[in-house]
Chains A and B, each alone.
Chain A
Amino acid sequence: QQQVKQSPQSLIVQKGGISIINCAYENTAFDYFPWYQQFPGKGPALLIAIRPDVSEKKEGRFTISFNKSAKQFSLHIMDSQPGDSATYFCAANGGWTGGGNKLTFGTGTQLKVEL
């Protein structure tokens, strides 16, 4: 049973544009939602994370928007650059009281930023 659904599977954005990736979860016990960036042959790198008590978090060009009632969250990459071309994963974690301290990942979005 997939608990975190991610879309789109792939995304092409022009340089300077906004990249938007969406995720939806089912388990209401999740209380921590990180995004990871992964380049080919490398491990995932933590980008930004949010908890359900806030609706938005911004760090540089990266923003997470969170809708607790809809059980959805999204990553916005402003002013997208060719160096942002990578695979992005959303994830969720319920901690020890929410089903165990393990990350449940989405299926990934392959982002390509064109010049």
Chain B
Amino acid sequence: DAGVTQSPTHLIKTRGQQVTLRCSPKSGHDTVSWYQQALGQGPQFIFQYYEEEERQRGNFPDRFSGHQFPNYSSELNVNALLLGDSALYLCASSSRMTRGQETQYFGPGTRLLVL
């Protein structure tokens, strides 16, 4: 049973560019949450998707957007990249069948470096 997978593993971009990160949830999971983890800090919630819609959003600008596909996989898009967007981007999956969807399992992350 594959866990949460993310691609790519590493990415280097320059300021002003756009980036797309991808996530496939664990088998049987239908909810995907995205987090940003700056170096030496805890993950910060970006947003959450289920039923192909954004359901919850953290304190991130509109430059951060996402999408969920019918197979539950998800994309995170970041436009007009800033140096401060350099971080580890984590995808977490969960199931709406569990109480309150609290149990979230994380993927290995995508390391984004903005130069």
Contact = CB atoms under 8 A, between A and B. Distances in A.
A106 B42 contact: yes
Contacts of A93: 100, 102
Contacts of B48: 101-102
A41 B111 CA distance: 8
A36 interface: yes
A45 B42 contact: no
A68 B60 CA distance: 31
Interface in A23-66: 31-32, 34, 36, 41-46, 49
Interface residues of B, number: 28
A46 B3 CA distance: 12
A101 B100 contact: yes
Interface of A: 6, 31-32, 34, 36, 41-46, 49, 89, 91, 93, 95-96, 100-108
Interface of B: 4, 6, 33, 35, 40-45, 48, 55-56, 58, 90, 92, 99-109, 111
